[in-house]
Structure 1
Amino acid sequence: MNEFDPAALDCLAALADEQGFERAAQRLSITQSAVSQRLRSLEAQVGQPLVVRSRPLRLTEAGKVMLRFARQLQALRVDVARELGERVAPQSRLAIAVNADSLATWVPAALDALVQRGLREGYGLELIVDDQDFTHDSLRQGAVLGCMSTVAEALQGCRVQALGVMRYVAVASPGFLAAQLPEGLHAGNFADTPFLVFNRKDDTQAQWVSQAFGVRSPRLRERFVPSSEAYVRAAAMGWGVGVAPEIQVRPLVEAGQLVMLRPEIGVDVALYWHQWQLQGRGALLDQIGEALAEGARLALA
């Protein structure tokens, strides 16, 4: 693999990130024609197309394989520069995928020291947000170098570490309960009760209802709020019943702004950290995994 031009691989990564030739050229401080030339050269070396020139731009299956290699090469360059005491190239970024609820709660504190050090040394962390059941796809496709996922099995060439369990509980505001559920939430009225849902990938509410009332594949009145912070605010404002991380809603429950429904019922989501195995002493990707493991230990205990 040594014959692949690192500059051409950087172009492929920039195209994947920026979703277009113009913005990729701006990111790399070169012309669009230079981006096209480097891509064509890389495609000639691989012997097949790497990019589908559509809007938005898409990678072929071969392009995803090469993107994965490009990401790993970039991470190794960052590690080498740091080990030699050199400043990292300004466009150097290590992308990882995390779920929105972890990002809204414990992940920033866990990664803070690494981010602050990155400001001094020149590298950056890019956080890609997706549902924890789907972040694994980003790792497989080469979009990220590590991910937090509910998948326990490691991909070939990756390693996996258990982080802990996020417990999701059902909550609603006192005003919503008084107006909409004076007799409480039960098997006879859940189907007519608005439930807050993060997005169409989110089935946590259905899992909670299934556990609480023994109903398989319940149909719910869904109100979508695609932001972890706004989701909890919406529950506190009385938009509906929310099923949110216990660590996120605990302060509002203690303050009386939210009430926990059936506190003995919870949806436990086990989280795992996956990363590509890169060679090198003190690799930054390893440090990210260690920081997340320690942050999860403190937050999810």
Structure 2
Amino acid sequence: MLQSKHSEAFLAVAETGSFDSAAERLHITASAVTLRVQALEKKLGHLLIIRERPCRVTQAGQQLLAHLQQTKVLEQNLLEKLMGKSACSQFYTLNIATNADSLATWLLSTIQPILIEENIVIQLKVADQTQTHHLLEAGLVNACISTEQESLKGCEVKPIGSMRYHMVASPQFIERYFAHGFNRESLRYAPAVIFNEQDQMHHEVIYNAYGLNMSQYPHHLIPASNAFLESIVLGLGFGMVPEFQIKEYTKQGQLIEIMPEAQTDVMLYWHHWKKQSRQLEQLTSQIIEHAPFRMNQSLNEDND
């Protein structure tokens, strides 16, 4: 049986990155934190924390961290289900995993009425839409937005709708790099803008159409949705952007679609635990009923 004080000390160090910060969180001395972590390491027979700046958890520490975070979320859900909310707050806390593009475009405006009406505060974890369901599987979140169609054990899945992506660039970028056509040779010298290493959408489009892999063309990695779009508008590169984000830019001629055949619809699903609180039920209904997706909507549909 793990002692709660020892586990709390380890969790605080793992989440804050230092023994001093953990001590401030727990309102004890740093030496007390050290002793508790050492006692836990001795009991388990494994080094859990690598004492660096910032501190890092070992492989054994990662396993314990996942267990403690999952237990924390489960306990929070149980208390909120039994008590309606935590005893010390008038707000309900929900942990949600989302992809960055949903967060940058439609998510907050869609759930805003329920957050206010139900006194819900959300703690968001951002990951690629192909990876968010792993956070739910690990028990780190109550629900997630994912491209995974199959439900996880103990969970339910509901379709949200489809986000359409377009390959776009600025007029200045097109003039500089694609003046002689959009082809395999020009693509080898035109910088692409890609979200991060896990983002395979751009790579797959270019590889399938022109046989080029990511090592054969220059590319920026810009892992923030707004900065990603801004970099394309500024002419730093070309890339795949959600339709929601580029309508005004295409209307004004600031962005031009350069590869219509690259249009990609990404189907999103809402995953949540089967046993959910009333607040999560309300949030689920809001997302499913009001997410602003329309299937197969063309980029120029609203140009009137």
What is the TM-score with the length of structure 2 in the denominator?
Answer: 0.78
Runs of at least 5 residues in structure 1 that lack an aligned partner in the other structure: none
Q: CA RMSD in A?
A: 3.4
What is the TM-score with the length of structure 1 in the denominator?
Answer: 0.79
Amino acid at match of 2:77: A
Return the offset for 1:12.
6.8
Return the offset for 1:63.
4.1
Return 107-116 or 162-171, whichever deviates more: 107-116
Amino acid at match of 2:78: L
Q: Is the 8 A contact 1:208 1:243 kept in 2?
A: no
- Residues 50-104 of structure 1: CA distance to partner in whole angstroms, max 9, x if unpaired? 9822322364425423421220211232344437xx8653897432111111111
How many residues are paired up? 288
Match of 2:48 in 1: 52
Return 10-19 or 226-235, whichever deviates more: 10-19
Match of 1:222 in 2: 219
CA–CA distance in structure 1, aligned partners of residues 24 and 143 of structure 2? 26
For residues 222-241 of structure 1, the aligned pairs below 5 Å read 222-241=219-238
1:60/1:265 Cα in 2 relative to 1: closer, same or farther (>3 Å)?
closer
CA–CA distance in structure 2, aligned partners of residues 81 and 258 of structure 1? 51
Return the offset for 1:259.
0.3
Return the offset for 1:32.
5.6
Match of 1:269 in 2: 266
Match of 1:293 in 2: 288
Secondary structure of the residue that 1:206 maps to in structure 2? helix
Amino acid at match of 1:101: D
1:129/1:113 Cα in 2 relative to 1: closer, same or farther (>3 Å)?
same
Q: Is the 8 A contact 2:11 2:65 kept in 1?
A: no
1:36/1:67 Cα in 2 relative to 1: closer, same or farther (>3 Å)?
farther
For residues 1-301 of structure 1, the aligned pairs below 5 Å read 17-27=15-25, 48=44, 52-54=48-50, 55-57=55-57, 59-82=61-84, 88-89=88-89, 93-117=93-117, 121=119, 124-211=121-208, 213-215=209-211, 217=213, 219-278=216-275, 280=277, 282=278, 284-296=279-291, 298-301=292-295
Q: Is the 8 A contact 2:14 2:65 kept in 1?
A: no
CA–CA distance in structure 2, aligned partners of residues 95 and 124 of structure 1? 9
Return the offset for 1:250.
1.5
Runs of at least 5 residues in structure 2 that lack an aligned partner in the other structure: 296-304
Return the offset for 1:181.
1.1
Q: Is the 8 A contact 2:98 2:129 kept in 1?
A: yes
Return the offset for 1:286.
2.6
- Residues 15-52 of structure 1: CA distance to partner in whole angstroms, max 9, x if unpaired? 554345544454455666776788799999xx847982
CA–CA distance in structure 2, aligned partners of residues 287 and 13 of structure 1? 31
